[in-house]
A = this chain, B = another copy of it.
């Protein structure tokens, strides 16, 4: 049986592949984007799990758009306007995939910053999109490049991760947010604001969401994988009701609906009075781990490795001077330290920068120090 031509264009995720190696005993993995599982709020959820045994209705077929009480809760939490709507999917990854399936035709032009989130590149490649890229700067995307692209009039979607971008960890400035929203409205471009890391700010002040400045022409993706637990596979997408209706139609075909027991457990977690405290602890831990990794890299990198500080999220984007990042990543793995080379975050054949994406959330401070030492030792060799 012949494989669909668009699949042949997808580059498998180096990251998910490296995760198998990274999961091996004794490997310090800074490769994934995993929350530390020792912090999962399972103790609180015991009563929630027990209640599943008394709730057969949660195990019956459910509505395509999501479990009604969770939909109500999120609609209120995110202040969804009457002309808006919300759909629950299997992680924000599925929500993004539904968007591409509903709104992208083969050959259609969509834009994103590079380096880019690998999962988004895969989704749009699978939809047959013509992916246009703009450079990422410390305070956001290159506005000149964006305006040139949008002015050509063929870009229909701009996919963006304005808060603690994966892989760069960058957070857009307030000005850039305003300008991007303005450009989107002006040129009729739909903004997809992907916000999985937004609630993981551990320093500085929150900026308004870009979509809040162009509500009628944007879809917002939120994930519960980073703040709650990824194995449950829950995320949501909100935006204008007629667009969400189209996503519901695709979701009906894709898998009928998302697992209801998982949605009920998430709702219990989000309603928990201790949940804000859980988030605070998580962010405090992330900040401590980030500080440890940053200090160790500053100390050992000695100009061969540079990075901009981050105020949240899960990643440091470390650029290298005259070093082949892929070679370095392989050398690291041979010394039981897993990292992802920057090339993974570019389109195939695209010019990339020599860089490493370093996750600081999943390994403890001692491990992060040892990993940084290994990386810096290899750099100085």
Contacts and interface: CB of A to CB of B under 8 A. Distances in A.
Interface in A22-61: 32, 34-35, 37-38, 40, 42-43, 45-46, 49-50, 52-61
A37 B52 contact: no
Interface of A is mostly: helix
A2 interface: yes
Interface residues of A, number: 78
A361 interface: no
A321 B76 CA distance: 51
A60 B104 contact: no
Contact of A229 (B60, B89, B126): B60
A255 B53 contact: no
A7 B249 contact: yes
Number of copies: 2
Contacts of A270: none
A102 B4 contact: yes
A246 B49 contact: no
Given A34-B61, A59-B42, A59-B232, A105 B4 contact: yes
Nearest to A264: B231
A176 interface: no
Given A1-B243, A2-B156, A254-B254, A56 B32 contact: no
A5 to B, nearest CB: 6
